[in-house]
């Protein structure tokens, strides 16, 4: 009887050992890699001492580890985009999206590699394997100009990109923060009502105002709703059922063709254009331009928002045609709309990480691509003519650069939370576009007065460094 009890007890212990061994094996081989990838893992902190660098397109250091401390030489200028890495608060931005590349090779989940580490440690050696370098498309000179100009305002954001490839040349959001002091400042940043941790360039959603007329004009021409010779009469207002829609500040642009209506930014004319398109066609082109769909970008980015099609009434549709109503867009997406026109009707896929370099050798390179082709090259050329008229003789003359043909569109977006948001979207040179810029300044008033000069200065810097 005693021997039988001992046998049963031995069997129970053996079974428990097998369960424990199985569980440990599962943790090491199956769950280990995902556990190791968590930013709060203490082992991750040890690996961060040899974390790779984040670099600008010219090799300028954007993030590096020195004596175990992560440093960000550009400070607030790129804080939301480059992000931070913290053992207490985790990671964000490129630091988060490319954590696996930046982190040195981990042996978690690889028993043989772990055994090699133990043997090396017993011999007094340590692994010198470092994380890969992440090379971005950021151009420091453009980044400095964009951030400096935006930082003159309380809340603003902007994007500069190459319409030919989709490469993001500069991106900034203010207010910002100093990532070099992130752990110390986080409690204050988290409670700040100005929300400095939000990347307004990618996640800020605003009514785009008249900059959205780029979309409406292109879609109306492409669908055959209007032609370049269609004329409009704007008395300053239009009645839509029981709703009366007005131009800004009681303006009236009179009799104009579509180029004149676009250059002088007639809301009344574009309300007529949108109503002529109709809800079904307007929403079909929202889909063709990819508005509202998840944006294929290497970092988190908000999609454009608009009401469900079956909820739209004529007054709402008319307002959406000139970027008001419940329509919301981010600066990045507005830059892509302008890039579509600049690129002959094809929207480039945006990217900010160009390649990953491991041990001095490129391990991967980001291929260029496109997101959509919503309009033809002929339609894009017609919209470009309209955008040129805006800067030459319309609402965007503040964006003129001597000797350079700038195509642009102003926007003054009313909102229920204060003064209008100032927008400007543009590209240059118009004949062979190399740079697109989109800028929004919150609660600042007229786009042509506030946002256009910022975009002009960014364009001027960009054109001096971005060549054919």
**Cα angle: 134, vertex 114, 25; to 5 degrees:** 110
Tens-place pLDDT, residues 409-429: 999 999 888 899 999 999 999
Tens-place pLDDT, residues 309-321: 999 999 999 999 9
pTM of the model as a whole: 0.86
Domain 42-132 has CATH 3.90.1310.10: yes
Domain-by-domain residue ranges, the chain?
A: 1-37, 42-132, 140-176+185-465
Give the number of C-alpha atoms closer than 13 A to the C-alpha of residue 107, restricted to the C-beta side: 11
To the nearest 10°, report the CA torsion of 172, 176, 177, 178.
Answer: 40
Which architecture, in CATH terms, is 140-176+185-465? 3-Layer(aba) Sandwich (3.40)
9 pLDDT more than 90: no
Mean pLDDT on 68-80: 96
Exposed/middle/buried for residue 402 (C-beta within 10 Å: 0-12, 13-18, 19+): exposed
What are 357's strand-pairing partners? 133, 362
Tens-place pLDDT, residues 324-354: 999 999 999 999 999 999 999 999 999 999 9
- Which sign, positive or negative, has the C-alpha torsion 20, 24, 29, 31? positive
């Amino acid at each position: 009887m005693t021997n039988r009890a001992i046998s049963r007890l031995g069997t129970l212990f053996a079974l428990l050992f097998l369960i424990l061994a199985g569980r440990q094996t599962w943790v090491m081989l199956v769950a280990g890699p995902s556990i190791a990838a968590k930013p709060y893992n203490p082992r991750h902190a040890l690996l961060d001492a040899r974390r790779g660098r984040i670099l600008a397109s010219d090799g300028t250091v954007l993030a590096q580890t020195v004596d175990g401390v992560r440093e960000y030489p550009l400070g607030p200028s790129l804080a939301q985009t480059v992000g931070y890495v913290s053992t207490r608060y985790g990671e964000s931005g490129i630091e988060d999206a490319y954590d696996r590349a930046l982190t040195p090779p981990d042996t978690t989940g690889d028993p043989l590699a772990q055994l090699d580490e133990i043997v090396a440690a017993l011999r007094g050696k340590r692994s010198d394997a470092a994380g890969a370098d992440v090379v971005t498309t950021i151009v420091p000179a453009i980044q400095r100009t964009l951030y400096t100009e935006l930082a003159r305002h309380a809340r603003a954001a902007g994007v500069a990109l190459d319409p030919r490839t989709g490469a993001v040349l500069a991106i900034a959001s203010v207010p910002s923060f100093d990532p070099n002091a992130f752990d110390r400042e986080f409690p204050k940043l988290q409670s700040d009502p100005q929300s400095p941790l939000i990347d307004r360039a990618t996640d800020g959603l605003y009514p785009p105002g008249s900059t959205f007329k780029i979309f409406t004009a292109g879609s109306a021409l492409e669908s055959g709703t209007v032609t370049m010779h269609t004329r409009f009469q704007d008395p300053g207002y239009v009645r839509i059922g029981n709703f009366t829609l007005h131009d800004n500040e009681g303006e009236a642009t009179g009799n104009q063709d579509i180029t004149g209506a676009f250059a002088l930014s007639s809301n009344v004319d574009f309300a007529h254009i949108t109503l002529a398109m109709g809800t079904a066609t307007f929403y079909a082109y929202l889909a063709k331009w990819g508005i509202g769909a998840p944006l294929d970008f290497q970092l988190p980015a908000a999609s454009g928002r608009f009401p469900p099609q079956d909820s739209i009434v004529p007054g709402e549709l008319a307002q959406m045609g000139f970027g008001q109503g419940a329509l919301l867009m981010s600066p990045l997406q507005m830059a892509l709309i302008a890039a579509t026109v600049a690129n002959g009707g094809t929207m480039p896929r945006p990217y900010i990480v160009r390649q990953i370099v491991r041990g001095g050798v490129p391990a991967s390179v980001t291929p260029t691509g496109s997101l959509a082709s919503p309009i033809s090259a002929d339609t894009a050329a017609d919209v470009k003519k309209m955008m040129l008229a805006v800067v030459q003789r319309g609402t965007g003359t503040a964006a003129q650069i001597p000797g350079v043909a700038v195509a642009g569109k102003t926007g003054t977006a009313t909102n229920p939370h204060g003064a209008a948001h100032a927008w400007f979207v543009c590209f240059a040179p118009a004949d062979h576009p190399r740079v697109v810029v989109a800028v929004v300044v919150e609660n600042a008033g007229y786009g042509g007065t506030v946002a256009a000069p910022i975009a002009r200065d960014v364009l001027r810097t960009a054109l001096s460094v971005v060549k054919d």
